[in-house]
Structure 1
Amino acid sequence: MMDYLVFRLYAPLASWGEAAVGETRPTATYPGRAAILGLLGAALGIKRDDDTGQQMLNDSVRVAVKQRSPGTLMRDYHTAQVPAAQSKMTYRTRRDELSAPRRIINTILSSRDYRCDGLWTVAVWLKPGASLALDALQAALLRPRYTLYLGRKACPLGAPLAPQRIEAGCLREALDAAFPVLVGKDEKTEQKALRLPDNVVYCWEGQADLLDGEGNESGVESSDTWDAPLNRRRWQFGPRVEFRRFERLEEGR
């Protein structure tokens, strides 16, 4: 048996950042490790420039996600001010760009992607030798130090996280935890109102058989995902192995 902290993510808008180059800011369909650690860090009050606190969080937890719905894709267009390229000048942060002389500032068109009405369940469990406790994480999610949002400040929570401690024999049992319905009085009304698909996606880290246990790796896919935080101040991320399984609703929950 393993202890898990399980909570729900829902918002009218969410944005799970991926590698972004140039004017396009895409979004994944579900939150990765960096997004979940960022949410937990904000709840705990760990600032982005607190290298010790960020490392403690990174070294303490593992994460998994059940995607009940990826939501629908929405693309928003923005105008952004950026300085003209100069051979002897390097802009390392957005603050550096905005501090450039006005005479060299140009306006460009950029796009940002969002997921509308997505619904996810997140499970967190502790690594060996963790410095944090699940009780502390649960308390922080119930009363966060900083405002929580799903990827961008324009994406506030649309429903309570409802964090709960669960002791389960496998990861699937924890991810299939029941939450109060968001829309209407029953799950059928919610499924229709949120246009929930007839399939689910499980994503986790650790071992391939962690979802069902007992060496069950049937239908499991894996790939390297570049969302393991290395340095929050410099926005540096490294690779990790992520396992996934796609299931139809009648097979999953």
Structure 2
Amino acid sequence: MTEYLVFRLYAPLASWGEAAVGETRPTATHPGRGAILGLLGAALGIRREDDAGQKALGDSVCIAIKQRSPGTLLRDYHTAQVPGDRKGMTYRTRRDELGAPQKVINTILSSRDYRCDGLWTVAVWATSDAEISLETMQAALLRPQYPLYLGRKSCPLAAPLAPRMIQAGQLREALDTAFPVLVGKERKAEEVALRLPGDVMYAWEGGVEQLDGESRGVESSDVWDRPLNRRRWQFGPRTEFRRYVRAEEGR
């Protein structure tokens, strides 16, 4: 039996950042390792510039995701006015930026993607080198040090995380943990209201048979979402395994 910390993610808007080039800011359909570590780090009060704290957190857990719904794609055409670089000038607040002379103000255009009404279950488990316990993480998620949001500050949580400790023989058993229905009195009402699709996706790290001991139907790829340096926004690759199953099999 393995001990897992399991919690739920739901919000009207979420954005799971992928590699961004130029003015396009895409989103993945589900949270990756960097997103989950960012959420846990904010709950624990670990600042981005705290390299030791970030490393301790990253070395402490492995992660897995159950995607009940990826949500629908929303694309926002975004404009922002920012001052250009000025020698000897540092803008510490948005107020400082807006107070810059108009002649040095630039307009930045970007296209930002969001997932609407996505629903995910997250399971994390401790590594052999864990410095932060799952119990400490659970307590932090219940009383976070910093506000929690799903990818961007414009994406606050819309339902309790409901973190709980689960003893399970297989990872899939932990990910299939039932949470209180979000919409309506019965699960069928929730499926209709949230437009839950017919397929459930499991995504995990560790090994091809880590989910339930089976390798049939598993696909994998390298994803660049393993934080290397939060201050410089540097990420490295990791292997992510995925399997799609019918919703009836992934309750």
Q: Quick check: TM above 0.5?
A: yes
Q: Following superposition of structure 1 onto structure 2, how do residues 15-34 of structure 1 map, counting pairs within 5 Å?
A: 15-34=15-34
Give 1:225's aligned residue.
223
How far the C-alpha of 1:81 sits from its partner, in A, is 3.2
Letter of the 1:22 partner, please give it.
G
Give 1:117's aligned residue.
117
**In structure 2, what is the Cα distance between the partners aligned to 1:108 and 1:47?**
27
Aligned mate of 1:241, from 233, 239, 242: 239
How far the C-alpha of 1:103 sits from its partner, in A, is 3.4
Query: Cα gap change, 1:187/1:130 in structure 2, threshold over 3 Å: closer, same or farther?
Result: same
Cα deviation 1:192-241 (Å, max 9, x = unaligned): 1100001100000001101002xx10000010000000000000000000
Cα deviation 1:78-120 (Å, max 9, x = unaligned): 112356799xxxxxxx99xx69975344213211111110000
Cα deviation 1:129-162 (Å, max 9, x = unaligned): 2101111010000000100000000000000000
SS of 2:21 mapped into structure 1:
coil
Letter of the 1:145 partner, please give it.
Q
Letter of the 2:137 partner, please give it.
L
TM-score (norm 1): 0.91
Letter of the 1:233 partner, please give it.
R
Query: Cα gap change, 1:85/1:140 in structure 2, threshold over 3 Å: closer, same or farther?
Result: closer
Does residue 129 in structure 1 map to residue 129 in structure 2? yes
SS of 1:217 mapped into structure 2:
coil
Cα deviation 1:19-56 (Å, max 9, x = unaligned): 00111111100000000000000000000100010000
**In structure 1, what is the Cα distance between the partners aligned to 2:34 and 2:51?**
14
Cα deviation 1:62-84 (Å, max 9, x = unaligned): 00000000001111111123567
Give 1:159's aligned residue.
159
Letter of the 1:66 partner, please give it.
K
Identity of aligned residues (%): 74
**In structure 1, what is the Cα distance between the partners aligned to 2:11 and 2:67?**
14
Corresponding pairs, count: 245
Q: Following superposition of structure 1 onto structure 2, how do residues 24-173 of structure 1 map, counting pairs within 5 Å?
A: 24-81=24-81, 103-173=103-173
How far the C-alpha of 1:243 sits from its partner, in A, is 0.3
